[in-house]
């Protein structure tokens, strides 16, 4: 009876090792990229680059509407119609996202007083038309836990994005570097995953199945949108309440702290999702959640080491002009710990198929974090970062409690695993 849990755990550890290996390469490329870009761009140009990238990622969240993540955890008898309809919906949503991003670019630029970013956001929107080619293939890799292949291919794409961004920054010295990098990475992503994965499901759009898929995935989409807003709200609020130079300083510190550390966190969440889904379906929710928190705390120890070393590596790697950002980097590393624990807790709710509860918690976290940042009496970047870290830590502890309650509820219901 113990062989199945053991083999599942072994596969999880192997997948996590593969993803962490890939993210190790990403971490190095991201570090090199930040070093080069920080020396090539001025403070305001650096802030504009970060802003364009985050705006684009917000619109990328619309791809969740196609229900791709549900392919990872759906039952075997649902897989065929989910893949067929998700493949068709991906294209519809991609065209919609391009139109929406182009239409809102000017408004976003005016609201945040960043007039130079409007055209960049519009040009970057074309990359949405590439991903539908391989979205279902990528989801199937996760479902079948073939994460070694995913880790290898995605690492190549991410390294290209980081290094091309740095190279273009040297020659352009403006935010165009992020546009070139993300489009280049999207092209390579589609080429690699199309070449080295299999697709056994044709595109098929049926009204009944598509509506069912959209009904379920809409909650996942809104939840992911809230997650994206939560992970970026401090940047958008900082762009609004801080001056351009202070915002550029905060953006750099955030990239040097959370941006680098988050690569490890993302690897962990990618490996955890299919593993935890299997644990829940096998009635091992408690063991799965405890193990998830244990691994999360081990990874978090690396973030604490990064915080301790910030005073030494920031001026050494990024140049003396960023010396003032050292304390900000050290402080924001603690936010990475709270983010990882928060994402682990929310992923557990999703694996329980409690999509509505996950959405409610995401909304409450987003509202709590945004309100604390908007109404805090801050005068500089350090005070803003302190408010962000303390608020995030408190919300993370609260959500961990919610996950525990969800686990107790599942036991009370006899371990049933059904969509809400």
- For the chain, the three-class secondary structure string (H helix, E strand, C coil) is CCHHHHHHHHHHHHHHHHHHHHHHHHHHHHHHHHHHHHHHCCHHHHHHHHHHHHHHHHHHHHHHHHCHHHHHHCCHHHHHHHHHHHHHHHHHHHHHHHHHHHHHHHHHHHHCCCHHHHHHHHHHHHHHHCHHHCHHHHHHHHHCCCHHHHHHHHHHHHHHHHHHHHHHHHHHCCCHHHHHHHHHHHHHHHHHHHHHCCCCCCCCCCHHHHHHHHHHHHHHHHHHHHHHHHHHHHHHHHHHHCCHHHHHHHHHHHHHHHHHHHHHHHHHHHHHHHHHHHHHHCCCHHHHHHHHHHHHHHHHHHHHHHHHCHHHHHHHHHCHHHHHHHHHHHHHHHHHHHHHHHHHHHHHHHHCCCHHHHHHHHHHHHHHHHHHHHCCCCCCHHHHHHHHHHHHHHHHHHHHHHHHHHHHHHHHCCCCCCCC
Model confidence at 265: pLDDT above 80: no
pLDDT band for position 416 (cuts 50, 70, 90): very low
Report pLDDT for 2.
Answer: 41
What's the pTM value of the predicted model, to 2 decimals? 0.67
Report pLDDT for 5.
Answer: 46
Residue 318 phi/psi, 5-degree rounding, is: -105, -10
Q: d(Cα 391, Cα 97) in Å, to the nearest integer?
A: 32
Report pLDDT for 27.
Answer: 67
Q: For 130-170, what is each residue's pLDDT tens digit?
A: 988 888 888 888 777 777 788 788 888 888 888 888 888 88
Bigger pLDDT: 3 or 182? 182
Tokens of 351: 């694996």
Q: d(Cα 247, Cα 317) in Å, to the nearest integer?
A: 21
Bigger pLDDT: 211 or 117? 117
Report pLDDT for 245.
Answer: 78
Report pLDDT for 200.
Answer: 67
**Maximum average pLDDT range among 226-240, 312-326, 405-419:** 226-240
184 touches 162 (CB < 8 A): no
pLDDT band for position 413 (cuts 50, 70, 90): very low
Q: d(Cα 35, Cα 195) in Å, to the nearest integer?
A: 33
Return the percentage of the chain with pLDDT > 90, whole number: 5
Q: d(Cα 247, Cα 47) in Å, to the nearest integer?
A: 6
pLDDT band for position 93 (cuts 50, 70, 90): confident
pLDDT band for position 261 (cuts 50, 70, 90): low
Average pLDDT over the chain, rounded to whole?
78
CB count within 10 Å of CB 323 equals 12
């Amino acid at each position: 009876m113990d062989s199945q849990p053991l083999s599942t755990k072994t596969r999880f550890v192997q997948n996590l090792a593969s993803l962490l290996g890939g993210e190790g390469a990403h971490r190095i490329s991201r570090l090199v990229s930040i070093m080069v870009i920080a020396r090539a761009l001025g403070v305001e140009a650096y802030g504009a680059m970060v802003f364009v990238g985050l705006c684009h990622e917000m619109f990328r969240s619309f791809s969740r509407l196609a229900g791709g993540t549900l392919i990872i955890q759906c039952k075997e008898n649902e897989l065929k119609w989910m893949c067929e309809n998700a493949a068709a919906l991906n294209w519809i949503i991609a065209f919609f996202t391009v139109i929406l991003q182009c239409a809102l670019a000017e408004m976003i630029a005016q609201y945040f007083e960043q007039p130079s970013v409007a055209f960049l956001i519009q040009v970057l929107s074309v990359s949405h038309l590439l991903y539908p080619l391989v979205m279902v293939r990528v989801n199937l890799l996760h479902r079948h836990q073939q994460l070694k292949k995913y880790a290898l291919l995605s690492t190549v794409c991410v390294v290209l994005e980081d290094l091309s961004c740095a190279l273009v920054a040297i020659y352009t010295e403006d935010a165009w570097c992020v546009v070139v990098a993300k489009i280049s990475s999207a092209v390579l992503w589609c080429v690699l995953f199309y070449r080295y994965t299999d697709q056994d499901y044709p595109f098929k759009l049926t009204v009944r199945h598509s509506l069912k898929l959209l009904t379920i995935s809409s909650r996942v989409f809104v939840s992911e949108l809230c997650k994206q807003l939560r992970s970026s709200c401090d940047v958008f609020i900082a762009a609004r309440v801080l001056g351009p130079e202070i915002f550029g300083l905060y953006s750099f510190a955030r990239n040097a702290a959370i941006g680098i550390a988050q690569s490890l966190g993302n690897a962990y969440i990618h490996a955890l999702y299919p593993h935890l889904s299997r644990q829940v379906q096998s009635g091992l929710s408690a063991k799965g959640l405890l193990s998830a928190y244990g691994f999360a705390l081990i990874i978090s120890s690396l973030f604490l080491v990064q915080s301790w070393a910030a005073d030494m590596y920031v001026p050494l790697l990024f140049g003396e002009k960023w010396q003032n950002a050292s304390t900000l980097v050290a402080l924001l590393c603690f936010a990475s710990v709270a983010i990882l624990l928060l994402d682990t807790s929310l992923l557990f709710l999703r694996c329980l198929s409690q999509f509505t509860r996950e959405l409610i918690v995401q909304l409450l976290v987003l509202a709590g974090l945004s309100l604390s940042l908007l109404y805090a009496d801050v005068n500089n970047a350090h005070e803003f970062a302190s408010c962000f870290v303390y608020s995030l830590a408190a919300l993370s502890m609260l959500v961990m409690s919610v996950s525990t309650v969800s686990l107790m509820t599942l036991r009370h219901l006899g371990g049933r695993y059904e969509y809400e």
